[in-house]
Structure 1
């Protein structure tokens, strides 16, 4: 289940949620969302604890929602308790800022 773009933007505004793009660096360079950081799926298990704050919500996304689902499962397995999957990055553009 994906979190809506409205809920994503509200989490960022109200709770300083961390927006994480799990696509490849090449994909990230082609289209970046405001405030997103790039942690490719193949690196997330090694670097999430170094780059992300477990006390703040995390919203992951990718191209289709498949990699972000896997990233969500990895993060929850590492003890992140507030992790949301926005699905495809294009969902960001489905609601106003």
Structure 2
């Protein structure tokens, strides 16, 4: 019976640590960038750096008109292509990778970072496909 008590205590500690980590990550993502609705995103997207962080094959299958592709898998080496003096609009399929990309950019000094709520999956605006 003592072993069950110990295992339950260890499990409880693991769950608490995991929950704390997830909470920390949530606030870290919220602090790094602002989430915009599609309408808010459309208002300024012609005056900003519009970055699609999905993989090239997904980008080629369809992307927001005017976006450029910097896949998250290559983001660490290619994020130097993004200017710090202009707002950055990020999106991916839903918003997971764009949140991570925003955190990476925020850590190195980018301040005007915005993400598309719902991602490309929910986008109803103009798109372009590469053949």
Structure with greater helix percent? 2
5+ long unaligned stretches in structure 2 = 1-33, 126-131
Distance in 2, matches of 1:79 and 1:45, equals 14
5+ long unaligned stretches in structure 1 = none
RMSD over aligned Cα atoms: 1.6
SS of the residue corresponding to residue 2 of structure 1 reads strand
Deviations 1:50-93 (A, max 9, x none): x2111110011111111111111111112111001114113431
Distance in 2, matches of 1:70 and 1:19, equals 16
Distance in 1, matches of 2:69 and 2:83, equals 15
Query: Which structure 2 residues correspond to residues 44-59 of structure 1 after superposition, within 5 A?
Result: 44-49=75-80, 51-59=81-89
Normalised to the residue count of structure 1, the TM-score between the two structures is 0.83
Contact preservation (8 Å) 1:60, 1:85: yes
Paired residues, what number? 91
Runs of 4+ deviating beyond 2 Å:
none
